[in-house]
Amino acid sequence: MNERDFVEEFFAREREDITPLEGDDGRWESIVVEARGRRGGRGSRRWVGYAAGLTAAVTLAGIGGWLLRGGLPGSDPNDPLASATSSVSLPTNTQRSSASTSAPVVPPPGSSSSSASTQATTGSDATQSSTSGSSSTTNPTNLPVGQDFSLMSVSYAGTDTLLAIGSGTCSGQACPVIIKSTDDGLTWHSAAAIPGADSPGRGAMSYVGNDRAFTGIRMANPSVGWIFGGNIMKSTDGGGHWAAYDHRGAAVVDLATDGKQVVLTSVTGGCDGAKCTGDVLIEGAAIDAAGSTEIKRIPIAVPIDSADVEFTRSGIAVVQVTTVPTAEQPTPLTMAYAVDGGQVSEFGVGCETGYWRYLAAAGGSDDFAACLMPGEGQWTLAKTSGFTGGDPGWAKIEGDQIGLGPGVFNSFAATDAQNLVAASGGSEGQGTIRVSHDGGRTWREPKQAPPLPDRGWRWVASPGADWFYAVPADGFRGFWRSTDNGETWTRVTLGPR
């Protein structure tokens, strides 16, 4: 049997093993692309500054949070196709990366790399061609998601298309893997893998990657999107090819898009998987640009835990920079900035502890702010209408405090002015999910809550309409979604059951 026959026989066997996934009866036709841009990967979230939580987070991240297990089809080093996923060194971000650098991306394990392929382009993106047999191709055989896939971030791209990034395996080595669904999440297949890069595993206790990591994904539309989380790459063909994206900072912390523009945050020092150092840069560009430019530099002398970006319905990008908790300052501090084109203005809420999260609703005119109260895991809410920068004019919401407990992760999402979800997680056996249907005045458990994962919830988000989704902190192969404003939840499985 010659090599060609062997490869064809391999793919024939793989296709026979592919089993369509069962799905719920819900459809995602009500999700709007504009709202998805604001909710591309996760809702408002991040650390609560408890000393115990900080210690646990650093310990877990340091002793194995970035280790991965198992393998995708074709990841066996003895596999005849293993050469298609050989490790390729990623460019480091100690200086600005070149948008014309060939992408160190490979086909999903098991797919053909026998011929060079040319990347589809949009706008000013340079055409990328294959190099050294390591260029990526689209996935014509719809290879299934690997058994070891551990979800980190999911983004709705519009027209029934979703893409997600998580951890998998390339030729026996840990690597980020991008998966895709074109039927509203009913079935998924592997789209691309990035050997030589880092991706957090199930034990990861921070959203901050290192300078060679990818932890998040955002899609501006079904064709254009970015993966980021230390390093950053861009796709213009729906996730089949990924190319280096020109940016200013040493490591990218977060990114958001409203479908027309992209705003990202980076740091001049770098990130190590638990914190980032150096000045924070706010960068921006049109979605068809080959790279971003600096909008504002924020000098900061202490390490940060996050620099979140979120778009409001008015088109304002909100950037929230949160410091790392320390023994001297156990509660982190939040600094927030409104970005309107090239104009940046700082604003606040006046929370008692100085730590808070801005929450842009997916529908309606009201946005929210969640303030951490003194004590363990208690939050209060304020709201603002039609925020366009400057002083938001916050109005305190009188009612129940939200009891989320001492979780490492705390997140909030809103579909409109009345319906909100809050969740927490990050520690073994801890975590909760709560809903409000009266604008945050009262909170309770959902009527049919999803089962609590081992480490609770990493984040909740609202893609629009009456939709919410929740991703577990333990990174199992799927997430949960609700189509009735958080009252009942259905599991979305990302591969074979």
Length of the chain: 497
Predicted pLDDT of residue 201:
53
Give the pairing of strands 173-181 and 261-267.
Answer: unpaired
Name which of 178, 267, 167 is nearest 225 in CA terms.
178
Residue 23 pLDDT more than 70? Answer: no
Q: Is the pLDDT of residue 266 over 70?
A: yes
Residue (of 246, 206, 258) closest to 229 by Cα position: 206
Highest mean pLDDT range out of 57-66, 120-129, 377-386?
Answer: 377-386
Return the percentage of the chain with pLDDT > 70, whole number. 69
Q: Give the pLDDT confidence of 184-204 residue by residue, as tens digits.
A: 888 999 999 999 888 765 445
- CATH number belonging to domain 30-113+120-126+138-493: 2.130.10.10
Contacts of 309 (CB under 8 A, 6+ apart): 254, 255, 256, 263, 264, 265, 317, 318, 319
Which one is predicted more confidently, 118 or 271? 271
pLDDT number for residue 207: 60
Q: Residue 429 burial by CB count (10 A; 0-12/13-18/19+): exposed, middle or buried?
A: exposed
- pLDDT at residue 286 tops 70: yes
pLDDT of 349 reads: 82
What is the token pair recorded at 156?
Answer: 């709705």
Most confident of the following: 26-35, 58-67, 216-225, 371-380:
216-225
Residue 461 · residue 472 · CB < 8 Å: no
pLDDT for res 329:
76
Of the candidate ranges 8-12, 331-335, 340-344, 476-480, the one whose mean pLDDT is the lowest: 8-12
pLDDT band at 142 (very low <50, low <70, confident <90, very high): low
How is the beta sheet containing 225-228 ordered, strand by strand?
216-219, 225-228, 232-235, 243-244
Residue in the block written with tokens 């700082």: 346
pTM across the whole model: 0.73
The 10s digit of each residue's pLDDT in 146-156 is 888 888 889 99
Burial class (CB in 10 A: 0-12, 13-18, 19+), 299: exposed
What is the rounded CA–CA span in Å between residue 329 and residue 293? 33
Q: Which residue has the higher pLDDT, 340 or 59?
A: 340
* Cα–Cα distance, 463 to 351 (Å, whole number): 27
Buried b (16+ CB within 10 A) or exposed e, 78-107: ebebbebbbbbebbebeeebebebbbbbbb
pLDDT value for 71? 24
Average pLDDT over residues 234-257: 96
**CA dihedral over 256, 262, 267, 272, signed as positive or negative:** positive
What average pLDDT is seen over the chain? Answer: 74
Which of 210-214, 293-297, 374-378 is the most confident on average? Answer: 293-297
pLDDT of residue 133: 28
Task: Using the CB atoms, write b or e for 159-174: b if 16+ within 10 Å.
Answer: ebbbbbbbbbbbbebb
| pLDDT score of 152 | 86
* Residue 349 vs residue 131, higher pLDDT: 349
Give mean pLDDT, residues 433-455: 94
- CB count within 10 Å of CB 493 equals 18
The answer to whether 336 and 348 are in contact (CB under 8 A) is yes
> Taking the mean position of all CA atoms in its chain, how far away is CA 375?
29
97 has pLDDT over 90: no
> What is the C-alpha R_g of the chain?
21
Strands 189-193 and 173-181: antiparallel
What integer is the mean pLDDT of 22-51?
39
Find the mean pLDDT for residues 342-348. 92
